[in-house]
Amino acid sequence: MNCSQKSEAVYHHRSRTVLHDRQTATNGKQFRLSRSPFSGSHFYPLHPNSLSGIMKNPANIGILTVSDRASRGEYQDLGGPAIVSYLQELLVSPWTPVSRIVSDDRHLIASELKQLADDCQCCLIITTGGTGPAVRDVTPEATVDVCDKLLPGFGELMRKVSLEKVPTAILSRQTAGIRGQTLIINLPGQPRAIRDCLGAVMPAIPYCIDLLEGPRLDTDPERCNAFRPKKVAGS
């Protein structure tokens, strides 16, 4: 799948729907014709804080599931949808998921990461799976292969949080790094672990992307206080 075949959906937190291009006005209010993942088409009011964001190009976020079985269709991908669901809850700025599934092959993983970063221009890529000590677990190696800089603090924090839940978290080797203007983060494969790990590092992600001169990502402050340093007067 190339970037021209990426999802046309634009996810937005407040409506919890998949937003499409058609728009209408009813009783003087702005509405967008949306299709819920769970039902048919409905009209949903746009949250006032979202109106300016909708006018901007949505941020592309790559979601790469690494699994031999899922890539062969023998296993339902749970990790990718878990990431999408979590980001829908947290992000209030518009974004588009660019999802991929690949086998546990170091060269194939690296190739997909390069395409998502370079061709699809994803400001953020989140991988799920392939971070353990098994022979076929090579996601961290593929990530290192394509990154210009590594950010080991992401992996350190995720392991710390996971160790509070399960002692085998010390076996996880996930890492993070930067390729060009793209932040790449490895997550484990289990949906519950995905939420724990992503929740731990999410406060630092928007500012990191700011530093890479990527699109602004805003989070729901009731769910995640993304850290951005206050500007010093005169700076």
Collapsing DSSP states into helix, strand and coil, what is residue 96? Answer: strand
pTM as predicted: 0.80
Whole-angstrom distance, CA of residue 183 vs CA of residue 180 = 8
Collapsing DSSP states into helix, strand and coil, what is residue 61? Answer: strand
pLDDT for 121 equals 98
CA atoms within 13 A on the CB side of 216: 9
Pairing of strands 29-35, 17-26: antiparallel
Q: Which of 175, 170, 171, 173 is nearest to 186 (CA)?
A: 175
Q: Own/partner pairs for 138-142, CB < 8 Å, 24+ apart?
A: 138/104, 138/105, 138/106, 138/109, 139/66, 139/104, 139/109, 139/174, 139/186, 140/173, 140/174, 140/175, 140/186, 141/106, 142/106, 142/107, 142/109, 142/110, 142/113
* Cα–Cα distance list, 198 to 28, 37, 79, 103, 201 (Å): 39, 23, 12, 22, 5
Stated as kind and residue range, the H or E segment containing 25 is: strand 17-26
| Integer Rg of the chain from CA | 18
Instruction: Give CA 25 to chain center in angstroms.
Output: 32
Model confidence at 30, in pLDDT bands (50, 70, 90)? very low
Whole-angstrom distance, CA of residue 80 vs CA of residue 7 = 14
Model confidence at 11, in pLDDT bands (50, 70, 90)? low
Model confidence at 118, in pLDDT bands (50, 70, 90)? very high
Q: Once rounded to an integer, what is the mean pLDDT over residues 161-186?
A: 97
* pLDDT tens for each residue of 190-209: 999 999 999 999 999 999 99
Give the chain's length: 235
Q: Quick one: tokens of 233?
A: 């007067």
pLDDT for 189 equals 94
Q: Which of 45, 40, 36 is nearest to 11 (CA)?
A: 36
For the chain, domains (ranges, CATH) are 9-46 (no CATH), 56-211 (3.40.980.10)
Model confidence at 13, in pLDDT bands (50, 70, 90)? low
67, 103 contact by CB (below 8 A): yes
- Average pLDDT score, the chain: 83
pLDDT at 2 > cutoff 70: no
pLDDT for 1 equals 57
62, 48 contact by CB (below 8 A): no
pLDDT at 25 > cutoff 70: no
pLDDT greater at residue 203 or residue 4: 203
pLDDT for 12 equals 56
What percent of the chain is modeled with pLDDT above 70? 75
Lowest-confidence segment of 47-61, 98-112, 188-202, 221-235 by average pLDDT: 47-61
